[in-house]
Structure 1
Amino acid sequence: MASQDPFDSALDLLRRLNPKYTANNVNALINLVPDLTEDLLSSVDQPLQVQRCKKTGRDYLLCDYNRDGDSYRSPWSNEFDPPLTDGTLPSERVRGIEIAANDAFDIYRELYYEGGVSSVYFWNLDDGFAGVVLLKKCMYQSFVSSANESTGSWDSIHVFEATDRARISHYKLTSTVILNMINGDESLGEMDLSGNMTRQVEQDMPVGDDSSHIANIGKLVEDMELKMRNLLQEVYFGKAKDVVGDLRSISSLTQQEKDRSMHQEMISSMSKR
């Protein structure tokens, strides 16, 4: 029997582990099999880390798409930290679009998330360019009176390719959302909702100049985030509500018996007719 590829085995293992600890699990696998380092870091979506740009003082997000070795490029200064002399940078034209896109999505982040951190990174392709839009929002609440805590984080990663054509650009967008929510209470215990979701879409959109790319990418990301938020609400929150409703009833047993008895009486009276 042929042995299974180590990379496929690592991915299968990660799918079966709690997505809340993806970063720790990836690091553990890298320590076990160092040869898989690059493949795992480029293939597995992890919760985004925040770092501060030393030149501008603004926060930015770390991912595999702005990493070169052990250094990360800031979208605000276009410089690597730690510094690199031969780091990969976008061309002058693509960098110009990247700057405008960071300004646009910074406004989008404030309007939709009312906080958090956003970062956009572009790089060159032979027939166009590609990029990633990153958004992160964390929440922490502590209620002393009821002795409970609520924590949560939302990480969205939108990777796209834009292929240039005559007055039209073909966009391919792959979006991943990583959700983690914990609500703890002394009387009810702790509830943990953690998971991720990935969706993909392709679309041709008209292009007049470089600013059209920003509007097109913004529309694709906005529509995709709306769809994924609705799906998460149905899958995570809807299912959790059903489970909690089946396990714990708000009304008393006496009231339930009374309602059940009234229901049986109505059925009996209707059947006699």
Structure 2
Amino acid sequence: MANEVQFDAALDLLRRLSPLKVSENLTAITTLVPDLTEDLLSSVDQPLTSARCKKTGRDYLLCDYNRDGDSYRSPWSNEFEPPLDDATYPSDRVRKMEVEANTAFDVYRQMYYEGGTGSVYLWDLDDGFAGVVLLKKNVAQEAGWDSIHVFEVDERRGSGRTCHYKLTSTVILHLGRESEGVGSLTLAGSMTRQVEADLVVENVGGQGKDGGHVCNAGRLIEDMEGKMRNMLQEVYFGKAKDVVGDLRSVAPLTGVNRDRQAQRDVISSMGGK
């Protein structure tokens, strides 16, 4: 019971602190309460970090889903760094889908992000398999986008050729601007959305239905990312622009006062008539 109360309190505290310092705050909390480390690491989304695969020389993203202790598995070599003697790996079938998914989302990353880093990790479940698609793009120190898409495929739940898919997507975004005219401005936050669907699994390529699973997951994630980008642009950025526009005038204050005085003169002259 004490651990549950502490866990809820830690999550509540993290929600109220700056999203830019979630990793530092998480480290501080787990230092105070080490028993919560595993639960918090698996429950709290953090800005993604990357490492370079020693075998292939390619960058990959780190998260709790490719972590085993203090080691992380590279999607390119399927090896843990530092090496582990008793590591858990995906089955041969799931590993083949993982390779195919990394190839597909590498194209997706180039088309939508024009750079950045992406990684896909899959693992086995009793009724199917699950995976996570990670995408990260930074623009110097001014802006960063991290998207984390966790999906589950239940191959026993469905009818005929359909399978049940569940997707949970999180976007962590930060924007910063510092100039003489604006000063120091930082906008940061995260958003999570979830969707479930029963989709038909077609035979795609040489992997048959396994290739169809990769296509279905890709379509779900592409659609979800598009909706979340539109929501950020239209709702959150639009509302922030309205608030800033009401609080701060773009035109010089002398010009605003001159226009207001002209309006008052016109109203006074109309009243005199």
Q: TM-score, normalised by structure 1?
A: 0.89
Are residues 1:177 and 2:171 paired? yes
Which of 168, 181, 195 does residue 187 from structure 1 map onto? Answer: 181
Give the whole-Å Cα distance in 2 for the aligned partners of 1:228 and 1:245: 24
Name 2:150's counterpart in structure 1: 159
Aligned partner of 2:138: which letter? C
Name 2:106's counterpart in structure 1: 106
Runs of 4+ in 1 over 4 A off after TM superposition: 257-266
Name 2:65's counterpart in structure 1: 65
Unaligned runs of 5+ in 2: 203-208
Are residues 1:204 and 2:198 paired? yes
Deviations 1:212-240 (A, max 9, x none): 11111111101111111111113432233
Are residues 1:223 and 2:217 paired? no
**Greater shift in the superposed pair: 231-240 or 255-264:** 255-264
Name 2:206's counterpart in structure 1: none
Give the whole-Å Cα distance in 2 for the aligned partners of 1:231 and 1:263: 41
- SS of 2:178's partner is strand
Unaligned runs of 5+ in 1: 141-149
Deviations 1:63-101 (A, max 9, x none): 000001111000000000000121111100010000000
Percent pairwise identity: 65
CA RMSD of the aligned region, Å? Answer: 2.2
Contact 1:136–1:154 at 8 Å: present in 2 too? yes
Number of aligned positions between the proteins: 260
Give the whole-Å Cα distance in 1 for the aligned partners of 2:258 and 2:22: 48
Give the whole-Å Cα distance in 2 for the aligned partners of 1:236 and 1:179: 12
Aligned partner of 1:95: which letter? R
Cα shift at 1:187: 3.4
